[in-house]
Amino acid sequence: MEPQERHQDTKIRPADAATVAKAAELLRQGQLVAFPTETVYGLGADATNGAAVASIFAAKGRPQFNPLIVHVKDLETARSLGAFSSKALKLAAAFWPGPLTLVVNRHPQSAISHLVSAGLDTLALRVPDHPVARALLEASKLAIAAPSANRSGRVSSTRAEHVAQDLAGSVALILDGGPTAHGLESTVVDVTGDQVLMLRPGAVPLETLEAVVGEKIGRGAPVSSAPHSPGQLESHYAPVASLRLDVTAPGKGEALLAFGPDVPPASGPVINLSPRGDLIEAAANLFAALRALDQTGVSSIAVMPIPANGLGDAINDRLRRAAAPRP
Ligand code: TXA
Ligand code: MG
């Protein structure tokens, strides 16, 4: 059977204890599971499993790696992954569990895949308030990376059938918890600095947030997938070293970000994104590999050509951004 046929819309299951346990098992195996939250349905993967996270982007058909929200069971788990300022704690106390996403600085040692946050030093975290989402977080003991469960460019799914229409071919199981309560995504707020910034309006209104933090909340530039413009670059991961793309022969002492089995001779450090030329594996390794090469202190990183099909498109998009001259 073709993968496309394997999971037809028969993948929808009422979310009872047994199917939630099954879904947790599938997540632990690196598969994708769609689940209801109080906002919209999420397309979930184990946030520590880079290949599983990469398959989210493949399933959504996203041409870019937009950073994803990580769903956790409680504030304590959230604090084990990122740093909470006093304002962040105030907001979490007031709105969690609930439809508010907090962007915090990630702890450097956090096991969350770098692909989740598209290589940024921040993490978007949320404790959902839906019995099925909470049961899944409890049963799996995982942090679950989940964008809205729709194909790229379509509206978010507020019913299990919508998820099936968009993603039946690529998801292992769709937990049906009925229509979602808000039908609107969570509000995303940046609490990494002193000033709280709203990055995406959503189910919690701005005034409600302002009442809790006791000050005006500014508007931050959302991390957008649009082609970069000056001033937007800092919202994308950029290595210190300069990047040369589509290189078939690296220079002397230059680092090499390789792809596939045919690697040219190199005198500098080499990391292969996927020796077998697998784009999902390459996506999973991309940001961690860039970081690791950058940390060797080289001044230039040569990148081998990456095919443009499948996730290659998104990989090349991110590499082009990382290679762009900085203002
Ligand atoms: O209600 C929701 O938020 C749903 C449910 C499933 O939780 N999820 C959702 O995810 O809408 P998604 O991937 O469609 O939107 C995530 C938003 C995007 O606007 C993204 O740019 C922002 O969160 N985001 C994620 N990580 C970020 C980060 N590290 N810094 C800034 N923005 C981030
Ligand atoms: Mg979305």
Per-residue pLDDT tens for 68-96? 999 999 999 999 999 999 999 999 999 99
pLDDT band of residue 236 (cuts 50, 70, 90) is low
Beta bridge partners of 123: 104
**pTM (2 decimals)?**
0.88
Q: How far apart, in whole angstroms, are the C-alpha atoms of residue 119 and residue 66?
A: 10
Give me the pLDDT at residue 59, please. 95
Work out the average pLDDT over 42-57. Answer: 97
What's the pLDDT at 75? 98
Distance from Cα 268 to the centre of ligand 2, integer Å: 40
- For range 289-293, the mean pLDDT: 91
Tell me if 47 CB under 6 Å of ligand 1: no
- Tell me, what's the pLDDT at 221? 78
Say yes or no: CB of residue 123 within 6 Å of ligand 1: yes
Cα 121 to Cα 118: distance, rounded to the nearest angstrom:
9
* pLDDT > 90: percent of the chain: 76
Closest ligand 1 atom, residue 71 Cα:
7
Q: Which of 56, 62, 69 to mutate to test ligand 1, by most ligand atoms within 8 A of the CB atom?
A: 69
The number of residues in the chain equals 327
* pLDDT tens-digit readout, 166-218: 999 999 999 999 999 988 899 999 999 999 999 998 899 899 999 999 999 99
CA–CA separation, 291 vs 287, rounded Å? 6
Q: What angle do CA 60, 65, 68 make, to 5 degrees?
A: 80
**pLDDT reported for residue 326:** 64
Q: How many whole angstroms from 5 Cα to the centroid of ligand 2?
A: 25
Å from CA of 124 to ligand 1 middle: 7
**Would strands 197-200 and 187-190 be described as parallel, antiparallel, or unpaired?**
antiparallel
Q: How far is the CA of 279 from the centre of ligand 1 (A)?
A: 23
Ligand that comes closest to the CA of residue 191: 1
- On the 0-12 / 13-18 / 19+ scale of CB atoms within 10 A, 291 is middle
pLDDT above 50 (res 229): no
Residue-wise pLDDT for 297-324, tens only, equals: 999 999 999 999 888 988 998 899 888 8
CB of 148 closer than 6 angstroms to any ligand 1 atom: yes
Which of 35, 106, 148 gets mutated to test ligand 1 (max ligand atoms within 8 A of its CB)?
148
Q: Which residues contact 168 (CB under 8 A, 6 or more apart)?
A: 7, 8, 9, 11, 174
User: What is the mean pLDDT of the segment spanning 146-167?
Assistant: 91
So what's the pLDDT on residue 224? 54
Asked whether 158 lines ligand 1 (CB < 6 A), one says no
Does residue 130 contact residue 36 with C-beta atoms inside 8 Å? yes
Distance 210 CA to ligand 2 centre (A): 24
